[in-house]
Every structure is written in structure tokens, then in C-alpha cells.
Amino acid sequence: MKRGRSEWSVYLSAVGPILKALPLLRLRADSRHTIADYIEGQVAKYADLPFILFEDRRITYREYNAMANRIAHWGLSVGLKAGDTIGFMMENRAEYVPVWSGFSKIGVKAALINTNLVGASVVHALEVAGAERLLLGPECAPNVADAALSNLPVYVLPEEGAADAGVPGAEDIRRALAQQPDSDPDAALRASVCTGDSAFHIYTSGTTGLPKATNFNHQKLMAGGVSGALLGLGKGEVVYCPLPLYHSAGGIGAVMIAMGAGGAVAIARKFSASRFWDDVRRYDAKGVIYIGELCRFLLNRPPEPRDGEHGLRWMFGIGLRADVWEPFQERFRIPRIVEGYGATEANVGGVNFSGKVGSVGKIRGGLLLRYDIERDELVRDAKGRYVECGPGEAGELLGRIPAGSKRMLRQFQGYTDPEATERKILRDVKKPGDAYFRSGDLLRRDDKGYYYFVDRIGDTFRWKGENVSTQEVAEALSAFPGVETANVYGVEVPGQEGRAGMAALALDGGSDAPFDAAAFYELAISKLPSYAVPVFLRLQSESDVTGTFKLRKVALREEGYDPGATDDPIFVRHDAAGTYVRVGDAADARVR
């Protein structure tokens, strides 16, 4: 089976499109070319080719542009203007990309809110993005039913052909949209918007704290269009996206790969392991965007006669572990797996075009610094200097922030919160006055220059494809009567990607105090997204803290959920019963 190609052969095969894209990649931060201009240019070239495929709908570039234009004109009709931000919460469907595209045409930023968030978490997402309005899909209305939205205007957009939404307190905009013109709005309406400004906001938990709204500039978004050429997607060909469109992998990766090549993006409403290959065949997809957990889910399904029967040429994504990579590629006969590394807000990343199993490629502009996991800090030598890692040694990856550069691809724009942005910058690293972006990730590099992802640093962990903020979870769990402290961390579970959430609860009255597991489960489910609800609980007499009253996590992570490692009671989440049960009594409980 073909394992990959050399990096140089990939670049040489795409030299034509790359040369055409050079002016775009060299745009200065203060230029006036935005994603809206890019969209209109691609529409002019590929007007009658399909762009969005969703279930039985086939939307051409021309039709997509008309949908976006109606959104733009509707936005103007309700008073939106360049520089404004609107919260946008909708599950995957045909209207998703036209909505944020339409807002971009009048210089308005959409804050793409995770559809798993509920209540106070939605309010927090709106606040950190500075959003003064909210547009919902009616399927997300229950998420905000208990949210304190005060006087925030809320709008709802049902699917084509669906009944009126009837969402209390929200204005259905479908009829208003139908009355709007489908012509391009005057570009002067976005004349104040620069290439280096945020095109929209995507949320990330980062390495600590509550979710942050990233500043994702127009140039980074447009640069995603070059990826289609590097992957070999042709005009009119299809890339399949089973990932949420509020995530950068799906919402930026799949969409811009297709748009840049004059191809189409086939959007799944939700990922389904049972329907995945049928969809790939149905759309005759040539490429797929993945995250590692998706590949494991597919591999865990029973073998079927049609395994490997498809027209895929490549799969592109992040997080594919080495133990899944080869059996997945062999079983499903994937000609080429292209594994990458990056983060929504990062200025450093890599792509493994060569097919080297387990690697994220060669990362240019990156710096690996030695990291002390127990002390949770970067290592310094006797002279106080940071210590670079040698081959085979894991360390935190940093990306250099060029001083004074007007070009944006290597800059770190960070978040809407300036203090949060500054916390991700390390200064005076190699020389006085320099600055580096801190990824919060541990990687290692081999003697050939290939990088390998090792783990995430700090409190945040990934579960079910989502970043889980331990601070957010702890705050929610601490509302339960009798919980003095909730210490939240992630633990490894054999056969599962990422880490499962575990909470060590210090109870008022000690670990033998009465504990209503069903009531605790009910509170957790009501306050948190499902992926953030802890899988395991540990009841403690008191919290283990440092001399500066920081909660210790390292030993707890190492002991995990093994009841033999501690005298503390260990519980596991049992969704079928709507409660938590003791691990010793949980023969029928499964980690899902």
C-alpha cells in the first residue's frame, strides 16, 4: 500500500496553484482583501459547480453565494455593521457555511459556538466574544432555555422545508431572508476590515481555564484554500466532512480545502460510524477530514465485506495514534494518510505528507523546550536559561513570533481577552526581546527532524474529540451540596482516545459522608456538556494541596480509577441507570 510521498514531491506537484496563491499568502495585515473577497472570486470561477452537499441537497457556488448574500442583507436590515460580533449556534447543515460567509460580506464576525454547550456556558461564550446578538438553529434552542440572555436579541433559522421554529423569545428569520436581495452587498460596507482582522471566532479551552474565543484572521482562513492543491483535490471533486463545523478541522479545514480547489464539501449532520462509509461512497468523496477518535471508532466496528470499497485518495486530520494508524490504513485500504499538528490560535504547526507512521511531520519555526511535568514548569539551567530538547526528548512546543512583521501567518493573534493572549506568550527565550507562542503541548523530535505528539500539558484534556476545561467542570460540580472541593483531571482508559474525566471530591464530613450519586449525576448532566461530565469520581476526606494551596493532580492521574491504588471510594458513570456506581459493583457499567 502506498504510504505517502516526500514533502518536496508534494510541493512540486502543487507548484502551479501555490504560485497563484503567493500574492494571497504575502498580503500584509493592513491590506483590505478579506475572506468575502476571496469567496466572491471563487464563486466567479466555479459558479455552476457544486460546493455544498448535504443529505439530498446539492448547492452550487452560485447558490451558496446567493444564500450568503441574503444573510448579509438581512444583517444590515437589523442594524449589524462592520466590526460587530454575532453568536452563531447551529448543528451541521446546509445553511451553516452560508451564514458565516454572509456575515463576513458586511464585516461582521460570527462567534461559532459549540453546540454541546448549555446554559451558563453559552452565556460565557457570548460574553468573551463580545457578541450582542445570537442566531440559533432551532435544534439548539434547548441549550439556551435556561441561559440568562437578558436583553440579547435572539434569532432562529430553521432548515429549508422545516416547520416554523416556534422558539420562545426568538425571532424566526426565514421569511425575512426570503425577502432580501441575493446580490453581492457593496464591498464598501466592509472597507474598514483588514486582512489581519478576525474573520470569525472559534472557541478553545487552551491549556487552562474556561473556553476562550480565538482571533482567526482573514489571511489564515484564505490560506486554508491552498491545502486542496497540496492534497491533490481536483475541481469538482468532493471532500467529506463528518466533523462539527464549529471546529477548525471541519469548519475551516474541509470547507477551505474544497473552496480553494473548486471542489465540494459533503457535510454530515453528525458523525456516524455505521453510515460513514456509505456516505463516502454516496458522495464519491476523494478525501476525508478526520480526528483520531473517528478512526478508532471506525476500526472498532465489526469487519464488513465492503471495507475498503471506496474512491478515497487521502484522509487528512489530526490526532491519529500510531497503534490505530496502520491497522486502520490496511483494513480500509486508504492510499494516503496525511497527519498534521496545530491549534486554532497557533502560529506553529506541521503536516506529515510523507506518511511516516505516528509523526505530525517536520515543524518549521518550532522550538522544543524541556518541561518538568511534576513541577508543571519549563526547565532552566544553572544560568537561568531555558533548555532545548535533544532528539527523542519530549518538551513543550513553542512557535516564534516575528518582531514587527506585517505578514500574519507566523503571528500569534491570540484571543479576545488580551490577558489570556499574554499568558500564552513566553518572552526573552533565546535572546532579550524575543517572543514565542506556548502551545501547551508536549512533542518530541527524532534525529531525522520528524515530530511526534506526546501529550497536552496542564489541566485541559481531550475526551470524545472535545477539549475539557477542568476549571469549568470543577465550578459546576462544586455547586453540589456537601462538596468542599472538586479536583478535576483526565485519566487514561485502555482502548479510548484522549483522557476520561475524573473528579476527586472532598466532601464535608469526609469520604464516608452520605453521598447521593443519582442527584450528583443529575446536577452534572444539567450543568455540563455530555463530554465534560466526569466518567469517574473519587471521594476524599480532604484535598491534597501544595504549600501554596494548589491542588495536586499528578499522583491522582497516576492512580486513575484503580480501587486497589487507594482506600478512597471510586465511582463510575452509569448513563443507563442515571447515576454513578461503585467500581466494584459496576460489572455492567461501560466507559463510552
Contact yes or no for 368/388 (Cβ under 8 A) = yes
Q: How confident is the model at residue 550 (pLDDT cuts 50, 70, 90)?
A: low
Burial letters for 222-254: b for 16+ Cβ neighbours within 10 Å, e otherwise?
bbbbbbbbbbbbeeebbbbbbbbbbbbbbbbbb
Instruction: Tell me yes or no: is domain 366-456 CATH 3.20.20.140.
Output: no
DSSP 8-state symbol, 270? S
> Which of the pair, 393 or 27, is modelled with greater confidence?
393
Beta pairing class for 212-213 and 198-204: antiparallel
Q: Is 242:257 a contact under the CB 8 Å cutoff?
A: no
pLDDT band for 406, please (50, 70, 90 cuts).
Answer: low
**Residues forming a β-bridge with 281:** none
What is the percentage of the chain residues whose pLDDT exceeds 90?
66
Question: Residues 94-104, buried b or exposed e (16+ Cβ, 10 A)?
Answer: bbbbbbbbbbb
Mean pLDDT of 335-343: 94
Question: Which pTM value belongs to this model?
Answer: 0.81
Closest CA to 583 of 559, 567, 557, 563: 563
Write down the pLDDT at residue 206.
Answer: 40
Render 468-490 in DSSP notation, one character per residue.
E-HHHHHHHHTTSTTEEEEEEEE
Q: Which of 129, 136, 53 is nearest to 89 (CA)?
A: 136
Strand-pairing partners, residue 415, are 214
Q: Is the pLDDT of residue 183 over 50?
A: yes
Residue range 461-585 in CATH 3.20.20.60: no
Nearest to 42 by CA among 86, 92, 97, 96: 97
Domain ranges of the chain: 7-270, 366-456, 461-585
Mean pLDDT of all residues in the chain? 89
Residue 395 has pLDDT above 50, yes or no: yes
The pLDDT of residue 513 is: 75
Lowest mean pLDDT among 123-137, 371-385, 519-533, 546-560: 546-560
In this predicted structure, the answer to whether residue 9 has a pLDDT above a threshold of 70 is: no
Q: pLDDT tens-digit profile of 77-94?
A: 999 999 999 999 999 999
Residue 587 pLDDT greater than 50, yes or no = no
Q: What are phi and psi of 308, to 5 degrees?
A: 90, -5
- Output the pLDDT for position 27: 81
Query: pLDDT by residue (tens digit) across 419-438?
Result: 999 999 999 999 999 999 99
When pLDDT is cut at 50, 70 and 90, the band that residue 1 belongs to is very low
Residues near 432 by Cβ (< 8 Å), separated by ≥ 6? none
The residue whose grid cell reads 464530613 is: 509
Any idea which residue has 467529506 for its cell? Answer: 240
Q: Superfamily assignment of 7-270 in CATH?
A: ANL, N-terminal domain (3.40.50.12780)
What pLDDT, on a 0 to 100 scale, did the predictor assign at position 245?
96
- Which tens digit of pLDDT belongs to each residue from 218-271? 999 998 888 888 899 999 999 999 999 998 999 999 999 999 999 999 999 999
CA distances from 160 to 9, 57, 137, 189, 587 (A): 44, 10, 12, 28, 46
